[in-house]
A and B are shown apart, each in its own frame.
Chain A
Amino acid sequence: MRADHDARVVIVGSGPGGATFADVVTAAGWDCIILDKGRNHLIDLQPPYALKGDYSNDELKFLYRHFLGPDPLLEPRTYRRSAEIDGERLYTGDVNNLPSTIGGGGVHADGKVPRFREIDFRLRSELGPIDGATIEDWPVTYGELEPYYSEVERVVGVAGVADGPRANPFAAWRSGPYPMPPGPDMHGAVLSAAAAERLGLHPYPAPTAANSEPYDGRPACNNCGFCGYYGCPIHAKGDPVAMLSHALHTGRCEIRPECYVTDVAVDPSGRRATGVRYLDPAGGMHEVTAEFVVLACGAFETPRLLLQCGLGNSSGLVGRNLMYHFQTLTVGGFPFRLHGHRGRAVTHLHDDHIVPDADDLAAAHRAGLPYFRGGIVEHGSAAGPILEAKTYLPGPLHNDSMRRSDLRDRLWVFTMQGEDLPQATNTIDLDPAVVDAWGRPAGRATYAPHDHEVVASAHIAKTLEAVMTEAGAQWTITTTSPPVGELTELDRKNPLGVAPASRHVMGTCRMGHDPATSVVNAESRFHDIDNLLCADSSVFVTSAGYGPTLTLAALSARAAHLLTGTPLPPTSPTPSSPS
């Protein structure tokens, strides 16, 4: 530690991005302090840094009682489709809430961690612009990121198949195999994957950051089924407990939970960050000084913090180009039980809709689009009985509905995480009236999908329904999140809500070479403030059709390695041996 700073690096946010950054800088011999507004239920912060036992198989605690936070009474957010349609806001409450807890979104994720493909970083060059969207190439290529993808996969422990007939034929090149083989296939996925293959698609075991064998001192997943939206009681999910644990064990990382950052402090020039100011749990104001400040609050909270303190925004793009994944949910009802509550919530993906074929292109052209791309399709199901029960009507039919369980135990779900084009009009800004428990303006999402997403969804849904029927479903229904068209009473009752249900939030501090058209540079440093960095999915230029976690962690790792002067050597497509 240098005498003139409290730490070389202060990191705001302990999720996958911040945790990865802390892991890399502490391994390089630097010290860091992580601040997070959430409580700590993950890991003891004193040696020997034992993993905590607060997570449990408890639907009430995790789905209805805000155990991982944020509690919408303390930290409300607002949503509107546009000012013209909804005025200041349509809805106040839970909007894309990622956990506010030590470990952030990694705690509740079911750990599906696919990589992006080469083309995803060069969409404008490869496929061209689309009217109304701000599609640009990333300033980083897949090849530059590959060493960091590999490192993050090793650190968190990813189970998957890199080679052979079960591998994803659309996958980008890899420099090595996955650290672990995949876990067991859910029964429903066995059926839906076989059906997808019969219809010419290419399902594969989902790369999953849940141990299929003991790894890094943590046990193998035992398939309890309380995965998505739950913390893992046995810590078989590696993200981000692995990174935080490693960082703590160096003795150079301090984690301060329940600390609410109010400002990035800057010097009189306004071009250098000097640290951050925060409120402790008792409301006392503190300042942490550091040589470098890293924002890793997620693509909703990072722009909110910057807009509150008016920093980093000479481009006017902080908070703009907000992207989610446009979710297409095709559900199917089966005449027998699928017990989707056993296993890892999702065990198979297929990528076919990310690579448009002639039929997709024809559908795009008919809609006046040069092309469209969908996203990964997750084969899974994992609703709990309370959620199911609330969807049925009260009265004498309740019991038969619950015993038969058409909407849980006989239900299978395809969720497509469709690529969402960046649009300058989709934003995170500050709500003019709603405030949080600290009295500061709530974040507000203003978002409407581009025709691209809506057209792609409607077209691909036909294939998803055909696959579901081929798998043995007696009925299928497709919905989207957010809902499209006029809001119906059914939309308002849908447990997914009227706001996008996606927890994949991206793009609100996009990276690029030109300070006029981007917020951070290719090394994730702010153009306006050179020693301020962003280590979350805010920096994404496009959303691709893949979950963002591994890519944001790889970008964070790359930024931290470059900052500390420890870049990883370049990699090449080495044939890997089957594990």
Chain B
Amino acid sequence: MPIWFDENDYETVAAACERLIPRDEASGAPGATAAEVARYVDQLLGAFTFDPPRIWAGGPFSGRHGGDAGFENWIRLRPLDERAWRTRIEGSRGDPERERNGPVIGLQERYRSGLVALGRDFVSVDGTEQDRRLDAVAELKAMLYEHACEGMYGDPVYGGNAGGCGWAFIQFDGDMQPRGYTDAEVEEAGGAS
């Protein structure tokens, strides 16, 4: 079950992101859907349904390269940071403390209106039509791509990059602590492929 989106919105975001970062069997590219990029966006928009909110993952290690796994120990926000992140996600909503420099339209609202523009039937139309609709809402498309990149190549703890598939495709190890790299691995030549 999605956290913040309804099922249709979730599928719409997944389908839209798949147009931006598509699966490609020939090269082994997983694509946005397999990487669960929509789950990344959903967890960002619904970050405050968790306590602590899922803004900053913990540290120091993921556990994938030794050490105790700490990334799921989400870091608590102080009230000021909660104000900033709620403003960023929910918008300023007329709250004077959030509007010291003017109103802020939140990510939730930008998604809400953008997804309406894409249409409830977005998932079922063909790729050409999906691209046409995405191009018609340039601002949403730009935001979706930013988030798709974050969900594709950010740490899996944030909801995307499922199983590290985004990193694997680009030959990137992701976090490396506490193993790090040996001096020889720093100095050695890299491959041409």
Contact = CB atoms under 8 A, between A and B. Distances in A.
Interface stretch (B4-12, B77-85, B109-117, B118-126): B77-85
Contacts of A281: 78-80
B183 to A, nearest CB: 4
B129 interface: no
Nearest to B70: A53
A234 to B, nearest CB: 6
A462 B11 CA distance: 51
B83 A437 contact: yes
B175 interface: yes
Interface in B138-193: 141, 145-146, 148-150, 152-155, 158, 166-167, 169-192
Interface string A26-60: 00000000000001010000000000011111111
A336 B192 CA distance: 4
B186 A223 contact: yes
B3 interface: no
A185 B183 CA distance: 8
Contacts of B174: 57
Nearest to A402: B170
A190 interface: yes
B154 to A, nearest CB: 4
A384 B175 CA distance: 11
Contact of A54 (B21, B75, B149, B172): B75
Interface string B48-90: 0000000111111110000000110001001111011001100
Contacts of A258: 78
Given A53-B70, A71-B84, A385-B167, A185 B21 contact: no
B58 A386 contact: no
A565 interface: no
A343 B181 contact: yes
Interface string A87-121: 00000100000000000000000000000000000
A71 B148 CA distance: 22
B158 to A, nearest CB: 6
Contacts of A221: 180
A339 B152 CA distance: 20
B100 interface: yes
Contacts of B192: 335-337
Contacts of B133: none
B27 interface: yes
A471 B180 CA distance: 27
B20 interface: yes
A55 B59 contact: yes
Given A385-B170, A396-B22, A403-B29, A224 B149 contact: no
A473 to B, nearest CB: 14
A39 B78 contact: yes
A73 B101 CA distance: 9
Interface stretch (A17-25, A61-69, A352-360, A476-484): A61-69
A338 interface: yes
Contacts of A65: 55-56
Contact of B80 (A54, A61, A74, A385): A74
A341 B185 CA distance: 11
Contacts of B107: none
B191 A336 contact: yes
Contacts of B80: 74, 281, 437
A65 B189 CA distance: 33
A57 B146 contact: no
A57 B21 contact: no
A74 B79 CA distance: 11
A237 to B, nearest CB: 13
A125 to B, nearest CB: 43
A529 interface: no
A56 B59 contact: yes
Contacts of A74: 80-81, 83-84
Interface stretch (A3-11, A261-269, A387-395, A504-512): A387-395
Contacts of B166: 385
A53 B59 contact: yes
A492 interface: no
A76 B99 CA distance: 13
A60 B155 contact: yes
Given A56-B59, A223-B181, A234-B177, A386 B190 contact: no
Contacts of A64: 150
Contact of B176 (A224, A390, A395): A224
A402 B165 CA distance: 13
A478 to B, nearest CB: 24
A136 interface: no
Contact of A234 (B60, B171, B189): B60
Nearest to B55: A65
Given A58-B57, A183-B183, A225 B191 contact: no
A241 to B, nearest CB: 14
Contacts of B95: none
B71 A58 contact: yes
Contacts of A223: 180-183, 185-186
B169 A399 contact: yes
A56 B71 contact: yes
Interface in A148-204: 183-187, 190
10 shortest A-B CB distances, which residue pairs?
A222-B180, A337-B190, A57-B175, A56-B59, A233-B60, A389-B149, A394-B20, A399-B29, A184-B183, A385-B153
10 contacts: A54-B58, A54-B59, A56-B58, A65-B56, A281-B78, A336-B192, A385-B166, A386-B149, A395-B19, A402-B170
Interface of B: 19-22, 24, 27, 29, 55-62, 70-71, 75, 78-81, 83-84, 87-88, 97, 100-101, 104, 141, 145-146, 148-150, 152-155, 158, 166-167, 169-192
Interface of A: 39, 41, 53-61, 64-67, 71, 73-74, 76, 92, 183-187, 190, 221-226, 233-234, 258, 281, 335-339, 341-343, 384-386, 389-390, 394-396, 398-400, 402-403, 405, 409, 433-437, 439
Given A61-B57, A409-B170, A409-B172, 20 more contacts: A53-B59, A56-B61, A56-B71, A58-B154, A60-B154, A74-B80, A74-B83, A187-B187, A222-B179, A222-B180, A226-B177, A233-B177, A281-B79, A336-B191, A337-B192, A338-B190, A341-B173, A403-B169, A433-B101, A435-B100
